[in-house]
């Protein structure tokens, strides 16, 4: 980062038994958003205002930006099948640093809408209460979009999020099929959790951004059955909840992810087979993909996603067909749609 015109690198604060390890983000200076031109911020704000909104007007938006004052995930012991993030341990900044980032953004670019990129903002009610107790009075107009997971949404959580200024919650629900959900996210969540979370957030008047992952699950017949369940769930969302945005990605085989990484480490298949219910994997296709990709430096994302669908016993075109179906449902109900891989909203 820049300090008095010089590039400065933070010291290593990740030492064992070091108190600073608990809050390493406090060592990261507050961003200077004026380093990006005013023109860029105005484009960002203009695009933001175009996103559909069911409950909250964006006419009052004077500036929008991203922030990241905590990282990690509660699923670090059994990570999602597609997750390739290296370190999922939870690190957070102090409340002072959290609100300081928002105050600085307000000063720099007049921002009053914020995307907090922490993967599970609601991991701890103690953390949320600390933020609430230390919120400056001058930030009553700050609006937050935060990430959560369905099994961490409760009435208590909603009661804290509202006075914090949260207006939109981003949930990675992944699937509307119980079996597909277990495969992608493990045993820590269920389809009932998904329904309960979206109903509770709707009842408490939060907008929602919902993400799905479309994955081959054996034959086209089995995959189609699972994705039909997801379509059924999405129709429930657009008809009965306050969902504002839906995005979906085809399962991308990230090199560091437990399941996607099998292309580079096929020997791990036996270990992961039962843990992630992978009995449908075509091991001969897996070995073939390993020979094709193991030494490649440049990865064509579409081609390797096609190969992984084949490894799962599914036609890639079937996954694209269901992605298109989801887009059509969103268009019909005036819900913004996004392709997760490209970060594109329509």
CB 121 within 8 A of CB 157: no
Q: What angle do CA 63, 157, 23 make, to 5 degrees?
A: 70
What was the pLDDT predicted at 187?
Answer: 82
CB 138 within 8 A of CB 91: no
Distance CA 148, CA 255 (A): 25
What was the pLDDT predicted at 2?
Answer: 75
CB 307 within 8 A of CB 292: yes
Distance CA 285, CA 308 (A): 9
What was the pLDDT predicted at 16?
Answer: 47
What was the pLDDT predicted at 24?
Answer: 67
What was the pLDDT predicted at 100?
Answer: 96
Distance CA 46, CA 38 (A): 12
What was the pLDDT predicted at 345?
Answer: 44
Ranges in the chain, pLDDT < 50: 16-17, 20, 342-346
What was the pLDDT predicted at 342?
Answer: 43
Q: What are 338-342's contacts with CB under 8 Å, separation 24+?
A: 338/245, 338/246, 338/247, 338/248, 339/247, 339/248, 339/249, 340/211, 340/213, 340/247, 340/248, 340/249, 341/249, 341/250, 341/252, 341/301
What was the pLDDT predicted at 78?
Answer: 82
């Amino acid at each position: 980062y820049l300090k008095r015109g010089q590039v400065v690198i933070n010291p290593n604060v990740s030492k064992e038994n070091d108190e600073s390890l608990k809050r390493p983000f406090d060592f990261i200076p507050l961003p200077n958003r004026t380093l990006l031109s005013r023109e860029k911020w105005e484009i960002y704000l203009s695009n933001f205002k175009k996103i559909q909104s069911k409950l909250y007007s964006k006419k009052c938006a004077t500036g929008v930006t991203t922030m990241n004052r905590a990282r990690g995930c509660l699923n670090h012991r059994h990570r999602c099948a597609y997750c390739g993030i290296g370190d999922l341990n939870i690190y957070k900044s102090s409340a002072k640093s959290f609100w300081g980032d928002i105050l600085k953004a307000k000063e720099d670019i007049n921002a009053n809408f914020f995307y907090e990129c922490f993967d599970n903002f609601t991991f701890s009610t103690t953390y949320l209460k600390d933020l609430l107790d230390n919120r400056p009075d001058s930030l009553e107009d700050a609006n937050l979009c935060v990430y959560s997971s369905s099994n961490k949404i409760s009435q208590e959580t909603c009661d804290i999020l509202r006075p914090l200024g949260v207006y939109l919650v981003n949930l990675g629900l992944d699937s509307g099929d119980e079996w597909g959900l277990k495969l992608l996210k493990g045993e820590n969540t269920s389809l009932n959790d998904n329904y309960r979370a979206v109903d509770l957030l709707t009842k408490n008047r939060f907008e929602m951004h919902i993400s799905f992952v479309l994955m081959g699950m054996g034959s086209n017949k089995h995959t189609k059955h699972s994705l039909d369940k997801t379509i059924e769930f999405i129709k429930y969302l657009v008809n009965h909840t306050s969902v504002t945005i839906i995005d979906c990605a085809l399962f991308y085989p990230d090199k560091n992810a437990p399941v996607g990484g099998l292309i580079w480490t096929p020997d791990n298949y036996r270990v992961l087979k039962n843990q992630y219910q992978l009995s449908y994997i075509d091991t001969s296709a897996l070995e073939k993909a390993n020979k094709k990709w193991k030494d490649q430096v440049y990865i064509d994302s579409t081609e390797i996603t096609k190969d992984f669908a084949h490894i799962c016993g599914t036609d890639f075109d079937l996954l694209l067909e269901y992605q298109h179906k989801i887009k059509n449902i969103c268009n019909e109900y005036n819900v913004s749609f996004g392709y997760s891989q490209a970060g594109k909203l329509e």
